[in-house]
Amino acid sequence: MAIRRDGRPGAGWIIILTALPFIAAIIALGIGRMSISPGEIIDVLTVRLSGGHIENQLIEKTVMNLRMPRILLAALAGAGLAVSGCAFQSLFANPLATPDTLGVASGASFGAALGILMGFSLIGIQVMALLMGGLAVTLTWLAGSGRDRGGLSYIVLSGIMMGSLFSALVSLVKFAADEESQLPAITYWLMGGLDKANYKTLSLGAPVIIIGIILFMLIRWRMNLLPLSDDEAKASGTDIRLLRGVTVVTATAITASTVSMCGQVGWVGLLIPHMCRMIFGNNHLSLIPASVSLGAVFMIIVDTLARSISAAEIPVSILTAIIGAPAFIFLMRRSGGWRI
């Protein structure tokens, strides 16, 4: 299997990248306190799609109501964070760029913590997280833009400062929260988890992630121009400022939506794009689809481990850090350094 001369993945890679998330999802649906065979899972999905009746209601409810929403959220969160991290690494020509480079995750976390403090419902918390995530990036862009030279560097610095500001606001909310009820809920939410996934929350956040991923897939052939200077990009006939704006808005929307549904989940947007670069190179024609596929698979695996390796569910962000840090060090030593 090889990459085609135009930078697109070959037929073999297309099949693998398409099949991997579905295979991971089928396996994950069967893992839990009640083991379900892949055949039973396929039967449940087939019957539900055809509108038929399933005799074993316990298996149906376990698959469709308990595990399916979590796996859908895990796949969307992993794919969204990975493609957002890939976009920001290219945009800022920085191998350490992550989906939270512009402070969106910190802003969304503040919105969710504030929603919990004010006693909002799960949907209300999700809306607050989305709004505050958007506000954080807007403030970052206003503070760091307006300079022709070094503009992206100023935006990155503004993002770091804005992230620190909203992190301080999160601490303030935690200080003001009730120690017995609100503070544990805020702390656990900030640690990241998919245990509250349901179709209602997915209906609000999933469309944003899906539309954002589709948009990145459509413009991925232009994203190779992101690391170039303004003059080099103009020579190609591309409006580089518009491309950068679309990239920032899309990646921000995806990240804010992800954080609003499952809290802060680190390492996915940093580790997965680098893994894909090692396999597929720096051409976004292959890099974006690979990030979407492997990001989804990674989060499905991590969430399955989080809910099955112990009696008490482990927060997802803990596992992503435990897995991500050694893996990143291994990849860095294996590659001998990063190139964007």
pLDDT band at residue 335 using 50, 70 and 90 as cut-offs: low
Q: What is the mean pLDDT of the chain?
A: 86
Write down how long the chain is: 340
- In 3D, which of 104, 286, 298 has the Cα closest to residue 208? 104
Contact 323, 122 (CB under 8 A): no
Lowest mean pLDDT among 141-145, 167-171, 257-261: 141-145
Domain hosting 309: range is: 73-335
Q: Looking at the domain assignment, is residue 34 inside a domain?
A: no
Q: Name which residue leads in pLDDT, 67 or 228.
A: 67
pLDDT band at residue 336 using 50, 70 and 90 as cut-offs: low
pLDDT band at residue 149 using 50, 70 and 90 as cut-offs: very low
Q: Looking at the domain assignment, is residue 97 inside a domain?
A: yes
Residues of the chain with pLDDT > 90, as a percent, come to 34
Lowest mean pLDDT among 5-9, 72-76, 93-97: 5-9
Mean pLDDT score, 145-155: 63
Q: pLDDT, tens digit, for every residue of 178-221?
A: 888 889 888 888 888 888 888 988 988 899 999 999 999 999 88
Alpha-carbon span 128 to 132, nearest angstrom: 6
Question: Which DSSP string do the residues of 157-208 spell out, in sequence order?
Answer: HHHHHHHHHHHHHHHHHHHHS-TTTHHHHHHHHHT---TT--HHHHHHHHHH
User: Which residues does 319 contact at the CB level (< 8 Å), separation at least 6?
Assistant: 302, 305, 306
Alpha-carbon span 131 to 252, nearest angstrom: 11
Q: pLDDT, tens digit, for every residue of 287-333?
A: 999 999 999 999 999 999 998 888 788 888 889 888 888 887 877 77
CATH number assigned to the domain comprising residue 137: 1.10.3470.10
Residue 339 has pLDDT above 80, yes or no: no
Q: Looking at the domain assignment, is residue 117 inside a domain?
A: yes
Cα atoms in the 13 Å half-sphere on the side-chain side of 239: 5
Q: Looking at the domain assignment, is residue 141 inside a domain?
A: yes
Contact 137, 166 (CB under 8 A): no
Count of structural domains, the chain: 1
Helix then strand count (H, E) for the chain reads 14, 0
DSSP character at residue 337: S
Q: Looking at the domain assignment, is residue 67 inside a domain?
A: no
Contact 254, 108 (CB under 8 A): no
DSSP character at residue 3: B
